[in-house]
Structure 1
Amino acid sequence: MAITAAMVKELRETTGAGMMDAKKALTETDGDFEAAIDWLRTKGLAKAAKKSGRTAAEGLVAVAVEGAVGVAVEVNSETDFVAKNADFQSMVSGIADAALKSADLDALLAADMGGKSVADLVTEKITTIGENMGVRRMAKLSGDTVVSYVHNAAKAGMGKIGVLVAITGGDEAFAKQVAMHVAAVNPAALNEDAVDPALVEKERKIQIEIARESGKPEAVIEKMIDGRMKKFLADITLVNQAFVINPDLTVGAAAKEAGVTITGFVRLEVGEGIEKEKENFAEEVAKAAKG
């Protein structure tokens, strides 16, 4: 029986097995779907499917820079214990290197790592390490000079927060300080022009409602809102924030003194935006007892 790409895809989605393993299972069972599932189970290759529903909110962010291009990648695991595993860290480092040559996340997942796609390699590690994992995000940044910084580093180039900063002007030491600021303060955008309009509109509505609760006239409210929105934008934009290295200056003013123009930044933090499952100890023990 001819084994089609659609058959392989369906088996992969059902079992979590790698592409080549799914294809081999179908070949060995002459295309019998249920028999192929059983074949994968006997080989220990369908374990990943059982773990795919678990929340993976720990892990590592890895950064890599090559020439004028930098990349940050978030690879998740279920526990921080696995994030400290040398095998997991080696995989994350390789994924970051592959990301330098990948246009986006889809391309990264399809990229070759030692004869396997990144997606298949992660699935294999789920089976061998025993936790759900996933490559969640990647971000690229280019510029005349790109520097990286990792906060809470577990190993060189990877940790809980990864930052890239692009500058013109060539002062890498200053750019590193800006990257540390970004890690600590987490600005929403580089400057006012780069702020998401939806975020601005949401904040404006909130401030209008707050002002109306005070009972002030609409004409007064308009003036109040203008002032509050200017402060809001200053607080969330990198160039307008007080520089953590020298709070007497804004980041923009410090950059001007250093003869540098900041052209962009990226900040990824492990588990950012993921809703983590919470269990009490008794529930955890009961679940373990049930197998």
Structure 2
Amino acid sequence: MTSAGSPKPSRFPKRLFLWIPLAGVAAAVGYWLQIKADDAQGQIDWWILDVSTKGLLAGIGAGLTFLSVVGLALVAAYETAAAERVRAAITAQQQRQLELSQAVLRPLVDAVNSATHLRANSPQRRHLPGETRTAVLAVLCKLATGAAEPVARYYELTRDGGGKRVLQPVKCWGGDAGHVLKEGDPIAAPAFDALDKSEAKYWVAGDPEAPTTGWSEANIIVPVAGSRPYGVLTVESSDTDAFLLQDVNTAALIGQLYAATLGALPPGS
């Protein structure tokens, strides 16, 4: 499994690092030519060029010195602007993560508050788990970028007649219902691995450890586990560039919030 990409500010601007010695050499050569020009004699008369050797060397030396300083300033300005763009992108990602976390937190808190005030057998109380799942999956789909429509699902952990663990698709947003994931099946390995290790999984098609079938081009799986394991949340996209590292972290946070909500809902909700 791999980690999603994310813009990172470089520790030291590469172009500036390369230009500093080059500018130093150019300035040194320019200074040396200007010194040599003082002792130069003769006249250069070639094609349209009619100038003294002293003047030519002095001009070339001054030009090299000027270009080294101007070039260094331009590269420094470019690197500064590039760093600002990266910082702005990171800030935008952090703001987006905060907004999405708030978007999913509100309905989850409302569900817990409602469950404590509604009658045990009331229809509204019975609908709370479904409403919270819908809110969670809708926010997960907002993580994906690009033209491709993402698909989010919630798989609930159960057991089959033989006692084997099964992840049963309970709710879907944006696509088909999904397949039952049975423990031991290759297609189910990433989901159970995320659940057992309590960590988010991310991969794109073609990664060395990626499942060969059954998943989309880009996939995130996060466990939903609190006092006990409840299941997993998944979000998929046919666009390999749909997710960034920050999106994986946000999805993991959403999984934790949803698990806390399931644990806080009174029995019978």
TM-score normalised by structure 2 residue count: 0.23
The structure with the largest alpha-carbon Rg is: 2
TM-score normalised by structure 1 residue count: 0.21
